Structures are given as C-alpha cells and as structure tokens.
Amino acid sequence: MSDKTPLRVHIATPPTGEARRALETALVPRITLTLGPEPVPPDTEVFVGGRPTREELESCPRLRFLVIPYAGLPIVTRDLVLAHFPHLTVCNLHHNAPAAAELAVALLLAAAKRIIPADAALRRGDWRIRYEGGPALILDGKTALVLGLGAVGTQVAQALHGLGMSVHAIRRNLGGAHPPHVVAHPLTALPALLPQADALVIALPLTPETEGLIGEPELNLLRPSAVLVNVARGPIVDEEALYRVLSERRIAAAGLDVWYRYPSTAEEREHTLPSRFPFHELENVALSPHRGGALGNEELEVRRMRDLTATLNAIARGEPVPHRVDVPAGY
C-alpha cells in the first residue's frame, strides 16, 4: 500500500473519552476512520467488530480485514466468515490478557482459601470457620494444569509458578514458545494429567472442538482436593456435570468468571442468575460476573485502543498483522 493511499477503517462500536483519544492520536496519518452505528461505508477495507452481520460485510466489496476487538472469535462470526467471506484476514486483540490472568489467580486463591464463606461468616460475627471449617488448600509445591497457553494462559502459568506450583499446560502448538518453567503437552495427554492436578485453570477459546471438553468423565479424574477455575467460556465445561461434582463435593471448589446464562437486556442485569443450576447456593464456589474483560474499565479500554492501533498501523504499513486468527480452528 502506498504511503499516500488511505486505509479506510470502520469501527462498529466507537470508543469514547480517553480511549478514543488514545486511538486517534496514535494512528498513522493515512488511516481514515468512520465510526458506527451509521451504515458501513462501501469503501471500508478494515471492519472492527465482534459480531458483524452478513449484510454489513457484503456492503463492503473492498473489505480485506476483520478485527475482533477482544480475545477469541465468536462461533457465529467464525461460521459467517467460513461460509461467505473466506478471503478475509481475521485477527483479534489480546489487551485484556493481564486482567483476565489476574482474575484467574484471584479466583483460584479465593476458592482455595475459602475466602467467600469466611468473609460471609465473619460479617455475621461467626468465627467457627477458623476452628471447624476445614483446611484451606496450600498451593505451594502443588501441581497446576492450565488448559490453553495463549496470552492469558501464559500469564496465569507464570503467576502460578511464582506461587511455587509445578505448572503443566495443554496447548495445540507444542512447537510454540512458552515459559521455560511450564511443561507443555498435547490434548491427548489430558486424561493422564487431570489426576495430577491440584488446580485446573481453563483459558481455552470456545470452538466446536473445545465445547464440552471438560465433562463428567474428566471432572471425575480430578482429585477430591482439586480447585477448578474457568476464565475462558462457560460451555467448555459441562454445566450440569460441574454443578453436580461441586454440590456433591467430588472436587473441593471452583472459581468461575464465565457462565451459561447472561442477561440479554439492561433490565435483566439486576436479576439474572448465571446458570439453570443453583451454583449461587454453593459455598465452595467463588462467583464472578464475567469480569475478566473488565467492561467499563477506562484503563482497559485505553489498552484495547492501543492494541487496536498497533494492529491498524501494521495493516497500513504492510507489516505482519499481530494476533491473526486461524478461522477454521476458531482461534
């Protein structure tokens, strides 16, 4: 692309405030922005949005790139691209990896140390959990198994190593770079690794291959003292099986940031339980309302725009595009 040729970019959900300033001040001059929700200009070459419609993409005959403005690739978008737009280069953003990794570690510690029930009891003046409530899991010297060694999984693995844990991970590309203290394995090793895991942290993308990956047979391979943490997508773990093993104390605890049922309107945000099963009644579950992406966090939105800027500038300069997605694989 010539230095003088405009690169026309449409952002479906415009940033605001400091995030917008971070984007606009760092873009190379030849990038021309249009911002939703108005119709997508027909000369758009880069569409930024997670779930575009077929009509939106078809309205841009010059479209070359689809940028998902967060980690992952929605299955509906994957199917749309495969069926109708196989020529598009798809990439995503990994700006929220530190936030999601930190939340994963926080949930692990909250569940392992029984922070939630202890807090609730002490607010009532009840100290019995200190004397009668059973031991908290000590993580130092124990084994962690991280499913997925992408941006989030790698940071989780580094943090768990810092806590003194022996860290193993499942990943697709065993030849890829990973921290030297992490032992990487193929997916076929999962049944052998689960019985060794004191902590199971799920950081995989949701794809047709990973949906339901952790079902009752896999959960039954975990130790009774194991803690499960999911900061990826709820359906990677079978909903009913997870509730059953937790309610029956076949595993010790769980920290869950991703769920099976979400509010669909602003009104429903005040009264939507996250599952058809009463996870909220279990004291061995630390519940979090999908905060790994920290929606509404201004600092994270600025990071999102900086990551987006790096992607758009690379496209404009004809450089390798970061975080390209393997669309058939789904991540």
Is the pLDDT reported for residue 177 higher than 80?
no
Please tell me the distance from the alpha carbon of residue 228 to that of residue 249, in angstroms, as a whole number.
Answer: 12
- In a domain, residue 64? The reply is yes
Q: What is the pLDDT of residues 77-86, one digit of tens each?
A: 999 999 999 9
- In a domain, residue 81? The reply is yes
| Structural contact between residues 206 and 78, judged by C-beta atoms closer than 8 angstroms | no
- In a domain, residue 1? The reply is no
Residues 119 and 226 in one domain: yes
Strand partners, 214: 237
Query: Within 10 A of 42 (CB to CB), how many other CB atoms are there?
Result: 11
Q: What is the pLDDT of residues 229-244, one digit of tens each?
A: 999 999 999 999 999 9
Amino acid at 100: A
DSSP state of 184: E
Please tell me the distance from the alpha carbon of residue 215 to that of residue 237, in angstroms, as a whole number.
Answer: 6
Residues 217 and 145 in one domain: yes
Is the pLDDT reported for residue 152 higher than 80?
yes
DSSP state of 91: E
| Structural contact between residues 216 and 245, judged by C-beta atoms closer than 8 angstroms | yes
The predicted model scores a pTM of 0.90
Residues 107 and 229 in one domain: yes
Please tell me the distance from the alpha carbon of residue 180 to that of residue 18, in angstroms, as a whole number.
Answer: 37
Closest by Cα among 49, 54, 66, 39 to 15: 49
Residues 125 and 105 in one domain: yes
Q: What is the pLDDT of residues 89-146, one digit of tens each?
A: 999 999 999 999 999 999 999 999 999 999 999 999 999 999 987 778 999 999 999 9
Residues 79 and 163 in one domain: no
- In a domain, residue 225? The reply is yes
Residues 107 and 12 in one domain: no
Residues 91 and 101 in one domain: no
Sequence-distant (6+) residues with CB within 8 A of 310 are 322
Q: Which residue bears the tokens 């079902």?
A: 215
Please tell me the distance from the alpha carbon of residue 34 to that of residue 39, in angstroms, as a whole number.
Answer: 10
Residues 116 and 245 in one domain: yes
For residue 86, say if its preceding peptide bond is cis, omega within 30 degrees of 0.
no
Residues 309 and 215 in one domain: no
- E-strand ranges in 203-249 read 227-230
pLDDT at site 174:
82
| Structural contact between residues 154 and 203, judged by C-beta atoms closer than 8 angstroms | no
- In a domain, residue 179? The reply is yes
Counting every residue, how long is the chain? 331
- In a domain, residue 2? The reply is no
Residues 61 and 153 in one domain: no
pLDDT at site 133:
73
Q: Residue 52: which domain range?
A: 7-95+297-317
Residues 15 and 105 in one domain: no
State the total domains in the chain. 2
Residues 69 and 136 in one domain: no
- In a domain, residue 237? The reply is yes
pLDDT at site 295:
63
Q: Which pairs count as long-range contacts for 291-295, CB under 8 Å and 24+ apart, including other chains?
A: 291/103, 291/257, 292/96, 292/99, 292/100, 292/103, 292/104, 292/152, 292/231, 292/257, 292/258, 293/70, 293/71, 293/96, 293/99, 293/100, 294/96, 294/99
pLDDT at site 320:
95
- In a domain, residue 274? The reply is yes
Q: What is the pLDDT of residues 27-53, one digit of tens each?
A: 999 999 999 887 899 999 999 999 999
Average pLDDT, the chain: 94
Is the pLDDT reported for residue 277 higher than 60?
yes
The CATH number that applies at residue 213 is 3.40.50.720
Is the pLDDT reported for residue 294 higher than 80?
no
Tell me how far apart the 2 most distant CA atoms of the chain are, in Å.
72
Percent of the chain with pLDDT strictly greater than 90: 88
